Amino acid sequence: MIKKHLEEILIEEGSADRVNFSGGYVCGNARLNDDLRLMMSQADANLYKAKNTGKNRYIGTDYSRLAAERTDRNTVDILK
């Protein structure tokens, strides 16, 4: 949907006849600043993964899964 809107704008202005768009995103709710930092960091990593796999790629992560993985890692660190 984002790509479609970009194409409409750029084609209408005559600056492009085709648009390539890659993106990285994270879906979820940030409750704390640490959550937001983790989400932004993961979205950035997803963007670079998308760019490295070719044009017109989108890579996303579910924040609840990401937060669960972080909790599991923290629990293991505490138990060490």
pTM metric for this prediction: 0.66
- Domain-embedded: residue 71: yes
pLDDT given for residue 49 in this prediction: 95
User: How many of the other CB atoms lie within 10 Å of CB of 46?
Assistant: 20
Domain of 69 in residue numbering reads as 22-79
* Alpha helices (runs of H) in the chain, residue ranges in sequence order: 2-13, 33-52, 63-79
Q: Report the SS3 class of residue 3.
A: helix
Is 3 a member of any domain? no
In a domain, 27, yes or no: yes
Within 13 Å of residue 1, how many CA atoms lie on the same side as its CB?
0
Is 69 a member of any domain? yes
The reply to whether 12 falls in a domain is no
Q: What SS3 class is residue 32?
A: coil
pLDDT digits (tens, 9 = 90+) for 25-66: 999 888 888 888 888 999 999 999 999 998 889 899 998 887
Phi, psi of 17 (to 5 degrees): -110, -5
